[in-house]
Amino acid sequence: MQNKRTLIITGGAGFIGSHVVRLFVNKYPDYRIINLDKLTYAGNLANLRDIEDRPNYRFVRMDICDFEGVLKLMQDEHVDGIIHLAAESHVDRSIKDPFTFAQTNVMGTLSLLQAAKAYWESLPEKYEGKRFYHISTDEVYGALEMTHPEGIEPPFTTKASSGEHHLAYGEKFFTEDLKYQPHSPYSAAKASSDHFVRAFHDTFGMPTIVTNCSNNYGPYQFPEKLIPLFINNIRHRKPLPVYGKGENVRDWLYVEDHARAIDVIFHEGKIAETYNIGGFNEWKNIDIIKVLINTVDRLLGRAEGEDMDLITYVTDRAGHDLRYAIDSSKLQKELGWEPSLQFEEGIEKTVRWYLDNQAWMDNVTSGDYQKYYDEMYKGR
């Protein structure tokens, strides 16, 4: 792959995107990194304050649905790679407003693909050296059962296809060959966008890659998602709304480990392949919530566990998927990636970050973060 590249990273002002932008800007000074983001409620340029003045970084406020705008940007900047993260990402919002999810996640991805196709096919070398990398989710595979061998209560030790043993709540994992069975409007829209990306490879020969990752956690996550929402609520002693019985299982990966996987796959992944990304790290929601309460209490000098009574069971999320568990052994074997952090370490780091960055949290919860763009980019 070339030493100099010009990449568009879409959704770079969001949670995962900001970590990917930061990694690429720092690690590849010879690359030009263009962060293309509409700045919806989930986009926050304060997530990138530490790198915003770097010479190899440019922010462009644009909607991925703006085909003409994206095409012109690609022509002007000679873009040879796209890492596509922009999406509506919150399941609860998709239940209330599926149209926005279809518009952004499906039509937005299609518009981006069409712009890339129009630009790259106009060049003499066409698709040579180009790459369209689409970031998707494990939720497209649907939900797994909680199973366990006779007489053994989960979690038990099971063997993933990597051959390694892991604590798990069932014997099955999401593997790359599984059929898509999305349940929420969010995952249905993501599934549709994945199909479009693969169709552009199969029909037009566009060099595409798709990855499906499990739940991410870490700094800069919008506080509508379980972990940052609950850390903030525990701090302020507000109720913790646990959906259903808190028995649902999610498979958690530290966000910087996801960003590292994206770097490896972008540079070394095989064209037209799908890679699952995850750390074999399944947790029931209620168990994570207890860890969060104990950690926040301890770090704030409270008696560990004194805030357990904030746990409040509420009506379950409609269509709530029971269990996600990713088998990432293909990525681990073929490209040598593996997670760098144990969960206990990652959670401690994450709780500390939110407690130490209360100003970031207050800026988001007050809505002030949305004024940042106008102030920062006035006259630029």
193 touches ligand DAU by CB under 6 A: no
DSSP β-bridge partners for residue 284: 249
344 is catalytic: no
Residue selected from 89, 94, 192, 295 as contacting ligand DAU according to rule CB under 6 A: 89
Q: Which residues between 8 and 27 bind ligand NAD (CB under 6 A)?
A: 10-11, 13-17
**Residue 285 or 307: which CB sits closer to ligand NAD?**
285
Structure tokens at 50: 């530490």
Residue 69 contact partner, candidates ligand NAD, ligand DAU, none, CB within 5 to 8 A by sort of partner: none
257 is catalytic: no
DSSP state of 164: -
DSSP, residue by residue, 189-247: HHHHHHHHHHHHHHHH---EEEEEE-EEESTT--TTSHHHHHHHHHHTT--EEEETTS-
324 touches ligand DAU by CB under 6 A: yes
Which of these is catalytic: 63, 138, 257, 282? 138
Which of these is catalytic: 63, 88, 139, 251? 139
Per-residue x/- marks for ligand NAD, 125-144, CB under 6 A? Answer: ----------x-x-------
Residue 324 contact partner, candidates ligand DAU, ligand NAD, none, CB within 5 to 8 A by sort of partner: ligand DAU
37 touches ligand NAD by CB under 6 A: yes
139 is catalytic: yes
CB of 222 to ligand NAD, least distance (A): 5
CB of 152 to ligand NAD, least distance (A): 30
**Residue 117 or 190: which CB sits closer to ligand NAD?**
190
Structure tokens at 196: 């479009």
194 touches ligand DAU by CB under 6 A: no
172 touches ligand DAU by CB under 6 A: no
Region binding ligand NAD by CB under 6 A among candidate stretches 87-95, 145-153, 163-171, 361-369: 87-95
Q: Nearest-CA neighbor of 90 among 317, 373, 346?
A: 317
User: Residue 225, CB half-sphere, CA atoms under 13 Å: how many?
Assistant: 20
DSSP, residue by residue, 265-277: HHHHPPTT-EEEE
Query: CB under 8 Å to 346, separation ≥6 — which residues?
Result: 217, 218, 252, 254
Residue 65 contact partner, candidates ligand NAD, ligand DAU, none, CB within 5 to 8 A by sort of partner: ligand NAD
Neighbours of 93 (CB within 10 A): 17
Are 259 and 23 in contact by the 8 Å Cβ rule? The answer is: yes
Neighbours of 237 (CB within 10 A): 11
State the Cα–Cα distance between residues 111 and 108, nearest whole angstrom: 5
Residues of the shown chain interacting with ligand NAD in the complex, contacts defined by CB under 6 A: 10-11, 13-17, 37-40, 42-43, 63-65, 85-89, 104, 108, 135, 137, 190, 213, 215-216, 222
